[in-house]
Structure 1
Amino acid sequence: MRILLSLLIILGHFTLTLPASAGSLVVLGDSLSSAHNMKPEQGWVHLLDQRIQREGYLIDVINASVSGDTTQNGIARLKMLLQKVDAEIVIIELGGNDGLRGTPPFAIRKNLVRLIDMVEEVDAEVVLLGIQLPANYGVAYTQAFKEIYPDIADETGVFFVPFFMEQVALVPERMQKDGIHPNAKGQPYLVDKVWPYLEPLLEERD
């Protein structure tokens, strides 16, 4: 009996001192986040994962980004993802392909709000990455598109990263020849842009 009691005490102590489950940080994006035309380990999501590990945060990083994805596609994929992973933080980087196809801003907005709602329904935090279009898509449309992201952030209160590509898009040596996608040199700047908005969430969960 004494042996059994001692074993139960030891097991109880072990259970209490186990580290918490890592949980997951999901990046739901398109070609800007899928390491388009480069090795996966060169992409900003992989570099973000490395930085998270260096800083000692315990969370699994899942890159659920697909080249060419739209906000509508994202809704379908996110539903399945949230059923399979224990998401604690979801970074949403979508909308650029919608804009390049001329999708009405109200439709993009509706889909992004739906994505945010889906994440919040599972009690996870959202980080929304702001996207802008090249100027050749017309002043009226590019301005309306640009305003979608800060407007949604104000309305929903999610963590918001203004113009995710700010330090890359207008620097030719950090962009691929297509003028749309960042190259390997530009990827670290994307991590640096996201980090100040993400780190408070990582600290909070620790």
Structure 2
Amino acid sequence: MKKPSQTRWLASCLFLALLLFSLPAASSEKKTLLIVGDSLSAAYNMPQDSGWVSLLQQRLEEKASGWRAVNASISGETTTGGLTRLPDLLRQYQPEIVLLELGGNDGLRGQPPARIQNNLQQMINLSQEADARVVLAGVFLPPNYGRRYLEQFEAIFPSLAEENQLTLIPFILEGVAEQAELMQEDGIHPTAEAQNRILDTVWLELQPLLN
């Protein structure tokens, strides 16, 4: 026959075990940062593990271990393609943060700025409706597209950030695009050597959201 003290000890152990098993499974899962972008985020013309998103995952493991980065970027992607894919991505990954890095290919094709802005706005709406915070990455175009078009295009990103109270990365290629040695021969895509600098630019705006 067990002594009362032994019975109380066993009861306490059983209670603690039941308490642990009753905790939600999600408490041990990492939060998700979903990157939806184009070739600037898809490690174009270089090994995938050299791209800034892969480097971001390494930094998360070191400095924000409760997070993981999911890269849903595709080279050549437009805001129309991103908008089409986003609902499934949101359902699949249920991200806490969505980083949108799109619009450059639309601009290179001369798409109307109003259409680009509308597509991005819809992506912002979908993300926020899924309870995700949105980070918007701005991009610039080569100067040969004409001053009027360039001004309208470049105004898209700060305008959306202000209207929706988003975290804005003003220019994802800050400190890179103006240095020829950090750009590939096409003058559009950064080299592998530039990826750490891109990561630092992204991290500056992203880190406060991870705490």
For this structure pair, what is the TM-score category when the shorter chain's length is used for normalisation?
A: over 0.9
1:79 alignment partner in structure 2 = 87
Between the aligned partners of 2:64 and 2:135, the Cα distance in structure 1 is 20
1:6 alignment partner in structure 2 = 13
Using structure 2 for the length normalisation, give the TM-score: 0.91
Report whether the alignment pairs 1:46 with 2:54: yes
- Alignment RMSD: 1.8
Between the aligned partners of 1:116 and 1:20, the Cα distance in structure 2 is 28
Secondary structure of the corresponding residue to residue 186 of structure 1: helix
Q: Find the partner of 2:100 among 68, 92, 102.
A: 92
2:3 alignment partner in structure 1 = none
Question: What residue ranges of structure 1 are gaps of 5+ in the alignment?
Answer: none
Report whether the alignment pairs 1:107 with 2:107: no
Secondary structure of the corresponding residue to residue 27 of structure 1: strand
Shift of 1:137: 1.1
Using structure 1 for the length normalisation, give the TM-score: 0.93
Identical pairs, percent = 45
1:36 alignment partner in structure 2 = 44
Q: Find the partner of 1:55 among 59, 63, 66.
A: 63
Shift of 1:15: 5.3
Between the aligned partners of 1:13 and 1:103, the Cα distance in structure 2 is 55
Q: Find the partner of 2:72 among 64, 68, 76.
A: 64
Question: What residue ranges of structure 2 are gaps of 5+ in the alignment?
Answer: 1-6
Between the aligned partners of 1:114 and 1:156, the Cα distance in structure 2 is 11
Secondary structure of the corresponding residue to residue 79 of structure 1: helix
Secondary structure of the corresponding residue to residue 185 of structure 1: helix
What amino acid is the match of 2:79? Answer: T
Shift of 1:168: 0.6
1:130-186 Cα offsets, whole Å, 9 max, x none, are: 111010111111111001100111111011010111111110111000000001011
